[in-house]
Structure 1
Amino acid sequence: METIISNFGLRKMYSTLLLLIFALSPALGAAFQEPQTNSEQFSVYKGIVVNSESNDPIASASIAVNRSNISTISNTDGEFSLRVPDNLLPVTVTVSMLGYNSKSVPLSYFQDNNRIELINSVEELSEVNIFNANDPRRLVNKMLQKKDDNYFSDETLMTSFYRETIKRRRTNVSLSEAVVKIHKNPHTSNKKDLVSIYKSRKSTDYDKLDTLALKLRGGPFNALYLDLIKYTEYVLQPGMTDNYEFSFDEPTKIDEHYIYVVNFEEKDKSKPWYFGQLFIDANSLTLVRAEYKLNVDDRRTATQMFVKKKPSGSKVYPVDLSYQVDYVKNDDGKWHYSYGNAVMEYVVNWKRKIFNSRYTVNSEMVVTDWEKYTDNGDQKNTNYIDPYVVMSDDDAGFYDAEFWGNNNIIEPEKSIQNAIEKIQKNMENN
């Protein structure tokens, strides 16, 4: 018997994206191999981004190759891996993060150093003259009205790296990765974005899944549909900002841009409701980041909305749903979707069991390159995936090490690497 959990249930947001929990699979996914690189085509640069004062790692920092569309982000340990074609050399890399002064270094810097220290922005932003807005609701409405001026209005083809991790409590039990191609329709179009999986790989330790195997339905769409500029009808609908309470938080700065920070919270709390923060560029009124959650304290309602099917003798419900979306600015001054992250935590209670099972699913995608779309007739021949896709246990792509070496990735977490090493040992023992 299988349990079907909807990522956003009957709520107005992402009703097509589902979580699947079903009976234990006897198979164990193939173990990951370290990707090999082809130095004749590109070079790999690794590093870590830290706070210059505390030495703490900085997660989700943007690492971008100047005068190109190549970029990546740091992981929760501050680590990153950047692959740059040799024909672009020499180039400069800019590292930026909210609340820090940006730093630019030549690629040659990484020959002797792998540590990027960012300095906290100490300027009293609240006293800067540019921060003269006094009505947060009016500011958000202006931001929504200026979308046509601030964001790409062309169809684009994006190359992205997608990662999906599943934890049972603190133990990593599954890791999926994919390089995907996104046909990104402009925000002015009603057409949904299209996704094709160029190459994927997956490894799962079913022995740690406690008689259940949990899978995320929707794959890359979970991160892609977080684009609030393209899919504003899901959270901040134009003309419906009266449904929210807004307030200003302390302003900040990113990549030399002054940023308004606006708190928002839905007024209607009779059902799961959204709350979070919007980061809006003070000059252009561009949304550059959003961090928000869906409150699911009403367990009964949340279960009705999110759980579609479950094994008898079990209760399944969400306890935490958190989201983040980032945008980056191109050389022509236009912004575009660059990163999406959804973290979903679920609890499974079983009759006659003292302890419950707690699962955390992290779905994240970063755009590593893009180009304007030109209709060359290839679209009809592209195998676009369905929004209901589930990352397969098929090990196709595991052994194409040269391919994986050619793509910028989100550097794996150390804990995930440890989990993969255990899976490798288990396979060796078998």
Structure 2
Amino acid sequence: MFKKYGILLWLLCLFMPGVYAQEALSVLQRPITISVDSSSVENIIDRLVIENDLYFSYNPQILPTGLHSCHAEKMPLKNVLRKLLPGSDYQFEVIDNQIIIKRLEREPLRVSAQVIDRKSRDPVPYASVTIEGQSIGTITNSDGRFDLVIPQRLLDHDILIGCLGYVEFRIAPDSLKSVSQIDLKPVSYRLREVRVKPVEPEEIIARFRAHITDNYTLTPQLMTTFYRETVKQDGEYMGMWEAVMEMLKSPYRGVASDKVRFVKGRKSEFSNSYKDVKLKIQGGPYYITKLDVVKNLESFLDPKYELIYRYRFDQPIVYNGRIAWVIRFARKERVDYPCFNGYFLIDAESYALIMADFSLDNKSLKILGESFIKKQPHGIKTQPIRAEYRITYRELNGKWSFYMARTDVQFRVRNKLNHKRSIFRSISDMVVTQQYRFPRRARFGPSGIFRSNDIFTDFIGNYDPQFWENYNVIKPDEDLRNALKKNINPSENNVQQ
């Protein structure tokens, strides 16, 4: 029937309590024997991985350069690593047997601003905010606001702020310290200079598929991501759950799946209790990675399902100074399969897919019905009424890869016993705040991997005042900030995990 429901089945309601405890076993005291002369630090770590069944996560670019020697006889792993990575410059963190190597840096620069449209004066949501030449960055929230953490070593790099349909804005970090508002200029061009329909849309889509291995990363990428879930019931916030997660992004060529691992997170379940039912979402961070419609070809891009869709060109748009084709799609008449409608952007020069914005149409929501819901109590009737998705890619060093994803799902809940009705809305956002090549012989997991049946909201950790440290995150929008102020008393540590 339909190829896959992966990106829509992530909304799974469990109306029962759940407890999940995440335990981290330190391996830094394990006795290690090693003897290596005149080798790079990365090669020495490779030896540690192969000979001692260890798991590491690190950015190869932060390691010391040059040749080093390492000799140890049943020495604690921490001491071995300190021979290579002095404590004044590096720190180690163990999460579920995974050793994360971090480089210590001076206090970073923290800046904030709002991005608006120069003509309309409206906020520009989901604009990318990145450090030039680096993978470090964040996005604006729905109010156009952002917070950015800039490492001291990168203060000589400009900050780039861009969004589809706007001229990219460039500003030095020092200048950004005194700026509270950034005006983005809408792109304008004369249509007669653009060949709007060189071929049929289906031919452009075929060229996109033919160029995937040319345009997208073919080496594993280790990505630091920020993930947030919010749930509303009848327009009121019921809770917010957010975390920094690591994602091992597998190559765009091959069948290997992406993996995500919880690093640190916190939750705020507001004081106003759930009415009648309590919503839990199963596998949120796991399933949002399945929104990668390039790696997991969705039906509107898959040649096997092309015949059930109708495609048409829309007005082209400018992205980073280049023309992008806008292709809209919807189900053909008399098609009874679950289908999406929406649009996607394809770069007119490279045929890379830049972004896709799509949703299930009403007919599909009726066909799928309660398949959204995994478990519900007796007397509860649910009906999905909206399911919208967005996925965006970015180009780094000539290759495109997953950048940010968003899901927005809404459904109606009816209690047959007391005839009460509620509207639930769940929104999930994920953005890549840093990425780099996954080390050659490093291994990811297996403990700590977030799986499809895990409940994100049940992950429990410790709370500390400077919770996010130097991680970049998505700034909460005004509605969420107001809800947090209204429902949370910081002195009581109601914000946890």
Task: Name the TM tier (shorter chain).
Answer: 0.7 to 0.9
- 1:347 CA drift (Å): 0.7
User: Is the partner of 1:144 in helix, strand or coil?
Assistant: helix
Q: Does 1:406 align with 2:399?
A: no
Deviates most, 363-372 or 387-396: 387-396
Q: Which residue of 2 aligns with 1:139?
A: 204
Check conservation: 1:130, 1:283, Cα contact below 8 A. no
CA separation of 1:250 and 1:355: change in aligned 2, threshold 3 A:
farther
Check conservation: 2:237, 2:483, Cα contact below 8 A. yes
- 1:16 CA drift (Å): 6.0
Check conservation: 1:143, 1:285, Cα contact below 8 A. yes
Q: Which residue of 2 aligns with 1:323?
A: 389
Taking the aligned partners of 1:197 and 1:300, their CA distance within structure 2 comes to: 35
Report matched runs for 1:315-394 at 5 Å.
315-330=381-396, 332-351=397-416, 353=418, 355-380=420-445, 383-393=448-458
User: Is the partner of 2:12 in helix, strand or coil?
Assistant: strand
Q: Does 1:417 align with 2:410?
A: no
Taking the aligned partners of 1:16 and 1:168, their CA distance within structure 2 comes to: 20
Taking the aligned partners of 1:24 and 1:79, their CA distance within structure 2 comes to: 36
- 1:346 CA drift (Å): 1.1
Taking the aligned partners of 1:248 and 1:187, their CA distance within structure 2 comes to: 27
Q: Percent identity?
A: 27
Taking the aligned partners of 1:380 and 1:365, their CA distance within structure 2 comes to: 21
Residue type matched to 2:472 in 1?
N
CA separation of 1:388 and 1:158: change in aligned 2, threshold 3 A:
same
Q: Which residue of 1 aligns with 2:107?
A: 41
Check conservation: 2:386, 2:409, Cα contact below 8 A. yes
User: Is the partner of 1:339 in helix, strand or coil?
Assistant: strand
CA separation of 1:371 and 1:157: change in aligned 2, threshold 3 A:
same
Taking the aligned partners of 1:204 and 1:131, their CA distance within structure 2 comes to: 50
Report matched runs for 1:104-253 at 5 Å.
104-124=170-190, 126-129=191-194, 131-205=196-270, 207-233=272-298, 235-253=300-318
User: Is the partner of 1:216 in helix, strand or coil?
Assistant: coil
Taking the aligned partners of 1:172 and 1:51, their CA distance within structure 2 comes to: 28
> Any stretches of 5+ residues in structure 2 without a counterpart?
19-103
Q: Which residue of 2 aligns with 1:31?
A: none
| Superposition CA RMSD, Å | 2.6
Report matched runs for 1:3-22 at 5 Å.
11-14=4-7, 17-22=10-15
Check conservation: 2:300, 2:306, Cα contact below 8 A. no
Q: Give the greater-gyration-radius structure (CA).
A: 2
CA separation of 1:151 and 1:423: change in aligned 2, threshold 3 A:
same
Taking the aligned partners of 1:10 and 1:242, their CA distance within structure 2 comes to: 14
- 1:107 CA drift (Å): 1.0
- 1:188 CA drift (Å): 0.9
Q: Which residue of 1 aligns with 2:124?
A: 58
Taking the aligned partners of 1:13 and 1:85, their CA distance within structure 2 comes to: 37
Q: TM-score, normalised by structure 1?
A: 0.88
Task: Decide which of 355, 376, 381 is 1:289's aligned counterpart.
Answer: 355
Residue type matched to 1:351 in 2?
K
User: Is the partner of 2:430 in helix, strand or coil?
Assistant: strand
- 1:260 CA drift (Å): 0.8
- 1:213 CA drift (Å): 1.2
User: Is the partner of 1:263 in helix, strand or coil?
Assistant: strand
Check conservation: 1:273, 1:296, Cα contact below 8 A. no
Residue type matched to 1:127 in 2?
R
Taking the aligned partners of 1:217 and 1:284, their CA distance within structure 2 comes to: 37
> Any stretches of 5+ residues in structure 1 without a counterpart?
1-8, 26-37
User: Is the partner of 2:280 in helix, strand or coil?
Assistant: strand
Between the two structures, name the one with larger relative contact order (CA 8 Å, sep ≥ 6).
1
CA separation of 1:309 and 1:395: change in aligned 2, threshold 3 A:
closer
Check conservation: 1:13, 1:235, Cα contact below 8 A. no
Q: Does 1:102 align with 2:168?
A: yes
Count of paired positions: 408
Check conservation: 2:3, 2:299, Cα contact below 8 A. no
